[in-house]
Structure formats: structure tokens, C-alpha cells
Amino acid sequence: MLNSVVGFFVFCFLDVLDIVLCLVYKLIDYAIEAEWKPCYCCSSYDKSMVPTAGAGPKVVSLCSTKLQLEDVSDTLYCRPSRVAEFSRKAAAAVAASTGTSVKSPAQPAASFAVSANVMEVLRGKIYGRRKRLLQSIPRWSDCDCKVCNSWSRSSSPVVGDSRLYVHADGPGDGRPGTTSTDVLFIHGFISSSTLWAETVFQEFTEETRSRHRLFAVDLLGFGRSPKPADSLYTLREHVDMIEKSVLQVHDVKSFHIVAHSLGCIIALALAVRHPNAVKSLTLLSPPYFPVPRGEEPTQFVMRRVAPRRVWPAIVFGASMACWYEHVSRTICLLICKNHRIWDFLLKFFTRNRIRMFMVEVFMSHTHNAAWHTLHNVLFASAERMERYLETVREKLSCDVRVFHGDGDELLPVECSYDLAAKVPRARVKVFQKKDHVTILVGQQRALARELEQIWRDNS
């Protein structure tokens, strides 16, 4: 009860703060960059901007792939405030006690509505008023260090030629033409390939390194990978970039997949695209929530992942990241843009006695990439997850392993049990006293042994 009461007032305050920050950022953006981008505070729909040729799905060209409008999550521009929800519930309670009826607000037609932010991107893509170039100059609120912005200095500026950063290890350092087994590692939300390289990669035996090519990618918008300002970071874009940056460049024909958290969704989408190439599928803390009948999938999953509670702390952080566009931008401004300062302070106070790779892992991204990836991958795929798992069950013959920590407060262990119920051959192993992060960090040696055994069994 205390959590709910305190949470109500805290998130009511955040509702108001987000509106204030919206105005503040518009003024600062205009002052520094001479323009401001539309945000998701209000939605708009302009039929004149939607391509109508053909009878199939509406498709527009965007970055490295094609964006179908259904790839964009409605949670970007439909996030009811705490005050609005409380008013609606109070009105319903009064109506129930007095026996009167309360007229519900008119609902928009369930056809098509897209935020002004999305339409701005589509407008530039459809009518060609923007050059199809990755913007090498970051926004004033984003970091410009050699890690966060290295892609603009080393990659081709043309969108179609850009590739993800790939940390390769093993025989030939990932070069094609070597005889070995390939393994693809996909990180989760606000993370990077460094999380794998500094943990389990360090614990693999020499025999494993000599027989396996290990590829850990920085997802689009994270780590050292490109961070295009005009991308919507949809699931389709993430999968396309992995195919182009790993499977094609390194001539990968068959492979094992290891994924953590949000990366599990991308792993499933990739496995469904290449059903005959996947040898094994290992998922750590998968975000799978079966959607009850009658619920809106995207909204249901957002409420489960981010229930707007102040405790536990990881849930509070997820709630701010999911519900408040401008509050989360402020967090990125304070933390990500200044991660070099935080790195220095941590090294100073710890006398450099511990490795600081976690700073790079969690702080090398832009708000634009994190915000859109969270909504357009995690929430937009809520309905597709059912189809992905059905495909894995019916059409894929690969081994499926699921690892979860019993202390995971962000994605409860029931997510893995529900996934196993959908894919009966999936074997779930629960690690005691491990949470969403320590399922990987802190027990990397045990996890490395588990992975090596999986690869030996499915060689």
C-alpha cells in the first residue's frame, strides 16, 4: 500500500515534470540547433503523408531497410498519465456507487494514428527532402567521445554502407575462411558488446577459442555502432543490421545464438528468419509476457515491464525510461553525455581497484536510440512473440535453453516458465540469488561452462 501511495504522487509529479521538460528542451534545441524535433507528447495523423500505392501494407524506405508502419509501437504516443487514470477510475467508482452512468470520452477511430515525430521521419524519406546520410554530428545532449561517436569517423557516411560494430574473437579473429563453429552474442537494453567481451569471453577455454568464432555485436544505436538520428530503431532494422554486419560480412552459414534480456526478442526474430541455420538458442532472462485475451498487447507489456512503482529501484528506473520521454532524455543527458566524468570519479574513489567496463556498457548510447528501441522492439513485438515462439516450436529443430535468476525483479522468472510452456522442448535453468544483471555479471565462469556444454552437444 505504501509503495502504491508514494508511487501515485511521485508519478503524478513526473507527469507534470515531463510536460515542463518538453517545453524546456524545445527552447534549448531551437537555441542551440536552430530547430526542434517533434516529440511524442501529442499524436497527429496526416493522410497526405502516407504512401497509398499498392494494396499491401504501407511501406516506406528508412535507413538500412524498409519500415512497415505497424513496426512502430503505439506506446510511443499513447501513455496515459497517472492523473488521467485516477480521474477515470474515480469517475467509474462514483458512477457505480450512485447508479449513474458516466460518458466515456470519445475514442479515436481504430484505424491509423502516428506521432508527429514519426511523420517527420516519413516526410523526409518519402519526398526526399533529407539526404540519406547518417548524421556524424551528435545532438548537443549526446556524447561526442571516441567511443560513442567512433562510428562517424570510421564508417561510411552513407546509410546503406554502414555496419554495426562487431567484437570478434576466436580462430582468425572472426575472419571468413576459417573452419570453426560460429556463435552470435546479442546484448540487452542499454548495453553493448563489452558486456560479453569483459565477462564470459574471458572465461572460455583455449579449446573453445580455437574452435569457435565468437561475434558480439553492438546493436544499432548502442556502444560503437551507428546512431542515426533519423532512425526509429525498429525490430526489423536491428535484425537487418545484424544480418548485414555479421552474417554477410563474416560469411556465417550456421551459428549458435546467445542473447540477454531485450536481445532475446531480436534473437528470436533472427532465428525465425534463418530457421535452418540456427544450431542452438540460449536466452538469458527473456522478456516474454503472455497477453491475456482482450488486452492490448503493447500496453499490457509496458505495464508489466514498467508498472510505475517506486520500489524496487530497477522497476522505478524502467518506469521512468518507458513512460517519460523527456525525463528519460534528462537522465541520458546527465549520465550518458557525462560518462567520462562518472568513469573518472569511480576510478578515483575506488583507487582503480575494480574494472570500470560497466560504465561503457550502460552509458554508450543516445536517448533517441534507447527510447525507440525500448518501444519499437520490446513493446511492439508483444504480439509477434507468440508467432515467433510457435515458429521455434514447429519449424526449428535447434536446442533451446533458457537461463533466469530467481531474484530478477524486472523480468520475473515466470517469463522463462511461460516461454517453456510455449516451447516444450526448451529447458529452463534457474540460478539462485541472481537478478537481471548478475545472471551474467558475477557468475561468468559458470555461464561459460554452460555455454560450452551446449555447443558441444549441438556441434
* Beta bridge pairs of residue 158: 133
Cβ burial, residue 380 (10 Å; 0-12/13-18/19+): buried
Chain centre distance of CA 304? 16
Instruction: Take residue 430 and report the three cell numbers written for it.
Output: 534457474
CA atoms within 13 A on the CB side of 123: 14
The enclosing H or E element of 213 equals: strand 212-217
365 belongs to the catalytic site: no
Grid coordinates of 4:
502504491
What interhelical angle do 325-335 and 2-33 show, nearest 10?
Answer: 70
The CA distance from 126 to 114, in Å, is 15
Q: Coil, helix or strand for 334?
A: helix
Question: CA–CA separation, 256 vs 416, rounded Å?
Answer: 19
Catalytic, 245? Answer no
Collect all residues with Cβ–Cβ distance below 8 Å to 102 and sequence separation of at least 6.
91, 92, 94, 95
Q: Which helix (H) or strand (E) holds 301?
A: helix 297-305
- Whether 261 is a known active-site residue: answer yes
Q: Which of 326, 408, 416, 435 is catalytic?
A: 408
Of residues 73, 115, 193, 261, which has the active-site annotation?
A: 261
Q: And the C-alpha cell for 433?
A: 540469488
**543527458: which residue's cell?**
333
Q: How far is CA 107 from the centre of its chain?
A: 30
Q: What backbone phi and psi angles, to 5 degrees, belong to 389? A: -70, -35
Could you confirm whether 169 is annotated as catalytic?
no
The amino acid sitting at 344 is F
What letter would DSSP give residue 75?
G
DSSP state of 59: E
Question: Based on the number of CB atoms within 10 Å of its own CB, is 343 exposed (0-12), middle (13-18) or buried (19 or more)?
Answer: middle
Decide: residue 73, CB within 10 A, 0-12 exposed, 13-18 middle, 19+ buried. buried
Catalytic residue among 187, 238, 367, 372: 187
DSSP string, 353-407: -S--HHHHHHHSB-HHHHHHHIIIIIITTTTHHHHHHHHHHHH--SEEEEEEETT
Q: How far apart are the first and last CA of the chain?
A: 52
Show which residues are catalytic: 187, 261, 408, 436
